[in-house]
Amino acid sequence: MIGISREAILNWIAGAGLSPDQMRELLREEEPESVWERFQKTGVLIPEKKLAVRSEKALRAGADGKVIAANRERIERLGIRAVTCSDSQYPARLRDLPDAPAVLFYQGNPEVLKNSTVSIVGSRSAGYKGLEATRRIAENLSRAGITVISGLAYGIDAAAHQGCLKGGSPTVAVLGCGLDQEYPAENAPLRRRMIEAGGLVISEHPLGDKPLGWHFPWRNRIVSGLGDCLVLMEARIRSGSMTTVQHALNQGKDVFVYPGEADSPRCEGNHQLLREGAIYFTTAEDLMEDMGWLDKLPDVGHNNESSAQSGAQLSAAERLVMNQLDKGELGFEQLCDRTNLPAAMLSATISMLQIRGLIRLLPGKRYESVTEKQ
């Protein structure tokens, strides 16, 4: 029996494809080691219980010495740890959920879940405004020492993790596949940075589980379950993010919905939820206030200086452009029209303002004033 780690045994059990109820029952009554011992002796996983043929097959294949050794080696190399629902380190927020995962595999530091947490979810194909807002909110939450939880997908998820990292607090990702899978491949560097910054990556899937479509809506119950509240940034009506909201409501969590653009189909879900009574918010401060985290609120009032100060050093053309952009974002053509500057001069002016960080280029050759927000 020497050479078999607890993680490898749990990985073996998780690979059998049992129902969550069966697994929870099994692991609540017994230590994984004793389950393994009994299986070695009798070939039976749960006494007096007939398992599906597929599960039996998977168990026998997984118990093979070579397979177990290879998995154990991989688990150690990737630094994967595991907790079961009967362990004391099992996340307290998940413990009482009716569909709580029996086993959680993780990389990184599980202590971060002791912080206050906010789960942020939203569309993978979000608009740049939604992404900007997500980064801003996650960053400000993070500054206040709140851990952001999300799903490491493209779009809103990635923006939430990035924002949180920028704010200095660790961030948590819940995956819909085995921890050895690099999915989405694009976000592999982000995942690495998260771990390096003391964050956490969690999954209920054993090694080798592929990121299949049906994993994700199911995974979302963990995303919502780990947060003290849920934030929805952008979602269509039929989308994974909306299933997360459903999970959160079932779990009795507060759901905060960012308003988003009123007429965009990307934000249809937001507006439906807001009509149904979700909590309206636009800034991290709103959220903290509503959650009663008043001690975390930063002192306000030292943010609004840059605009007035730099205004003094602007040239006439630069002031013309800034005056237009202070009213809202504009395209190059519109700027050309409203300022009456020749295209060459306008280009030069825009470069100057960009270099000084006063304005920012948006997709579609549009510009916005940076001092407008925050």
CB atoms inside a 10 Å sphere around CB 275: 8
DSSP 25: H
**Least distance CB 302 / other proteins (angstroms):** 24
d(CA 102, CA 14): 9
237 binds other proteins (CB under 8 A): no
Give yes or no for residue 332 binding other proteins (CB under 8 A).
Answer: yes
Per-position x/- string for 56-95, each x denoting binding to other proteins as judged by CB under 8 A, each - no binding:
----------------------------------------
Sign, CA torsion 349/351/355/359 = positive
Nearer to other proteins, 67 or 362 (CB): 362
Residue 213 found at the interface with other proteins (CB under 8 A): no
Residue 98 CA to residue 176 CA, distance in Å, equals 19
Q: Does 31 bind other proteins (CB under 8 A)?
A: no
| In the complex, least distance from residue 261 CB atom to other proteins, rounded to whole angstroms | 11
Q: Which of 210, 345, 373, 374 lies at the binding interface for other proteins (CB under 8 A)? A: 345
DSSP 8-state secondary structure symbol assigned to residue 51: P
Span 350-369, contacts to other proteins by CB under 8 A? 350-352, 354-355, 357, 361-366
Mind spelling out the 3-state secondary structure of 307-340?
Answer: HHHHHCCCCHHHHHHHHHHCCCCEEHHHHHHHHC
User: Which x/- pattern over 92-131 shows residues binding other proteins (rule: CB under 8 A)?
Assistant: --------------------------------xx--x---
Is there binding between residue 344 and other proteins (CB under 8 A)?
A: yes
Burial 177-197 (b: 16+ CB within 10 A, else e): bbbbbebbeebeebbeebbeb
Q: State yes or no: residue 348 binds other proteins (CB under 8 A).
A: yes
- Of 29, 182, 186, 196, the one binding other proteins by CB under 8 A: 186
Q: Tell me what percent of the chain is helix, strand and coil, each rounded to the nearest 5.
A: 50, 15, 35
Q: Please report how close the Cβ of residue 242 comes to other proteins at its closest, in angstroms.
A: 19
Q: Which helix (H) or strand (E) holds 203?
A: strand 200-203
Rounded distance between C-alpha atoms, residue 342 and residue 141, angstroms: 43
Residues that bind other proteins (CB under 8 A): 124-125, 128, 154-155, 184, 186, 264-266, 331-333, 336, 342-352, 354-355, 357, 361-366
